Amino acid sequence: MTGICCFPLDNNTPAPTLSNKTNNNSHGKFSFISSNFPPIPTPHAQTPASNPMMVKLDDLLEKMSEVKIQLTNLASKHDKFEQFIKEKNESDLLVKENLNLLSKQSRELNGDVGQMQLLIKRHENMFIKLLIPMFEDLFTVIASQNLDKKGNILDADLKFKLERYLVQMKKASENKPFTN
């Protein structure tokens, strides 16, 4: 039985076969003695050029080194890309927050503009309802004062000018264009 790595420790145990070798090893009845085996053959010294298998292995090792370098470069680029994506996502969140803030401020400003428009409308109504009748009365008083002691009109164009000013004010309050 050559090539078997273990020998029985006592003479009563049968020699191991391939089928019971693992079972016997598990019981601890065998011991390993390295001197019972022949030495490993030494490799023959050959030049790489004379052995095509060695040339192919050398080429394979060289290609694997190149692949390793490429993978290292790729990993570095991947890490940089991941950092870029992370920074971009953070920047996107900041932009989104700023847009939400601007949207909120825009809504608030629209509310303020609406309130201001109501105030302007009220002031325009006040102007139309109070000032125009007041100017009509004032122009009537001025026109009545445009007489001399004998009752003759001092300035003939004054009444016409005052009426024209009054018509222009009414048209301006109605947002209609007026001409001189």
Q: Same domain for 20 and 64?
A: no
Domain membership flag for residue 58: yes
- Are 166 and 134 in contact by the 8 Å Cβ rule? The answer is no
pTM: 0.40
- Are 167 and 161 in contact by the 8 Å Cβ rule? The answer is no
Q: Same domain for 3 and 90?
A: no
> What counts of helices (H) and strands (E) characterise the chain?
4, 2
Q: What angle do CA 55, 61, 63 make, to 5 degrees?
A: 100
Q: Same domain for 22 and 61?
A: no
Q: What angle do CA 115, 121, 126 make, to 5 degrees?
A: 130
Kindly state the percentage of the chain with pLDDT values over 70: 71
pLDDT given at position 31: 59
Distance of CA 94 to CAs 46, 79, 82, 101, 123, Å? 67, 23, 18, 11, 43
Distance of CA 154 to CAs 142, 147, 162, Å? 12, 6, 14
Mean pLDDT computed over every residue of the chain: 78
Print the SS3 string covering 79-123: HHHHHHHHHHHHHHHHHHHHHHHHHHHHHHHHHHHHHHHHHHHHH
Question: Helix 156-173 crosses helix 132-144 at what angle (to 10 degrees)?
Answer: 180
Q: Which pLDDT band, with edges at 50, 70 and 90, does 45 fall under? A: low
Domain membership flag for residue 129: yes
Closest C-alpha among 23, 28, 34 to residue 9:
28
Domain membership flag for residue 178: no
pLDDT given at position 3: 47
Q: Same domain for 149 and 76?
A: yes
Mean pLDDT of 58-72: 92
Q: Same domain for 22 and 94?
A: no
Model confidence over 67-90: pLDDT tens digits?
999 999 999 999 999 999 999 999
Q: Same domain for 67 and 115?
A: yes
Q: Same domain for 7 and 71?
A: no
Q: Same domain for 99 and 56?
A: yes
Domain with 56, as residue range(s), is 51-173
Q: Which pLDDT band, with edges at 50, 70 and 90, does 28 fall under? A: low
* Number of domains the chain contains: 2
Model confidence over 129-141: pLDDT tens digits?
888 788 888 888 8
pLDDT given at position 41: 62
